[in-house]
A = this chain, B = another copy of it.
Amino acid sequence: MKVFITGATGFIGKHLVRSLQKEGIEVAINLQDGEESPFSESVKNYFLCKKDILSDIEFFIRENFDGIIHLASLYLTDHDPEDVGHLIESNVKFGTYVLECGAKAKVKWFINTGTFWQDYQNSDYSPVNLYAASKQAFESIAQYYIETNQIRFCTIRLSDTYGLEDTRPKIFNHWIRIAKTGETLDMSWGEQIIDISYIDDIVNAYVLLASHLQNNNLLVTNGSVYATKAEKRYTLKELAAIFEEITGSKLSIKWGARSYREREVMIPWENAVVVPDWKPKVSIKEGLKLILNQT
């Protein structure tokens, strides 16, 4: 199998590339101008959008990829007016560009990445923010390709993720910091339910779906939207208690010192259907031990 990956240098991308290589899958990645590959030379680098779309289509034809995994994304929890153009360009225009290349080059399949935030209040579609809306917009565009091209297209909508080498300013990283420094963290009342999965489970979902698509597994219908879902969900406050139990020390958190966000997700998407045959394997305790041992 030979796969092209966008957004490969991000948190999920890095783990996914290594995992695919371990499975003996040939991997090429897209880099942005000025970006350097964090991988060995066995991972081929490419720069899309540098010349013109016809040369990029020729690249896809020449390389004869089986599939494309599209992780590239501009994530913004809130946006300023100046961000609007970048959000559409990164999350709609670039995805459409890659999908057009893949379709024209007769790539067999395309795995897109969405977010639980497309499904605020557990609705079919209610975007938490403009970022989530831009993800939905790309799925709307993809519907055209699903109906008019040979390429098989699926989306994996992700909720929270964590794991080794995660440098994003996410909650566990904040807690690891304050556990070290002793500083106090202002937080909301922490009653929001968190659906968070360990990176190895996330990566497995992509690898498994890629293999389903590659093997024309009948469980997977074209255009499907799947999710990764935590084995068990906890409130933010319960997660803090688990964290404290594992580290054996109290976190200095001022609960209730911050108000909830305007569209705080109190209950993550519940109708989510996971990738066929996929099950999370790493419990929150195991995952937390792994990331705590690294630091």
Residues of A within 8 A of B (CB): 52-54, 57, 81-82, 84-85, 88-89, 92-93, 96-97, 100-101, 104, 120, 125-127, 129-130, 132-134, 136-141, 143-144, 147-148, 262-263
> Is B140 a contact partner of A84 (Cβ separation < 8 A)?
no
Q: From known contacts A81-B54, A93-B89, infer whether A136 and B143 are also in contact, taking CB-CB under 8 Å.
A: yes
Contact of A144 among B54, B127, B262 (CB under 8 A): B127
> Is B100 a contact partner of A127 (Cβ separation < 8 A)?
no
Contacts of A52 in B (CB 8 A): 82
Contacts of A137 in B (CB 8 A): 92, 137-138, 140-141
> Is A84 a contact partner of B57 (Cβ separation < 8 A)?
no
State the 9 A-B residue pairs at the shortest beta-carbon distance, nearest first.
A133-B144, A137-B137, A136-B140, A88-B93, A137-B140, A53-B81, A127-B144, A84-B100, A133-B141
> Is B129 a contact partner of A134 (Cβ separation < 8 A)?
no
> Is A96 a contact partner of B84 (Cβ separation < 8 A)?
yes
Measured CB to CB, the nearest residue on chain B to A98 is B84
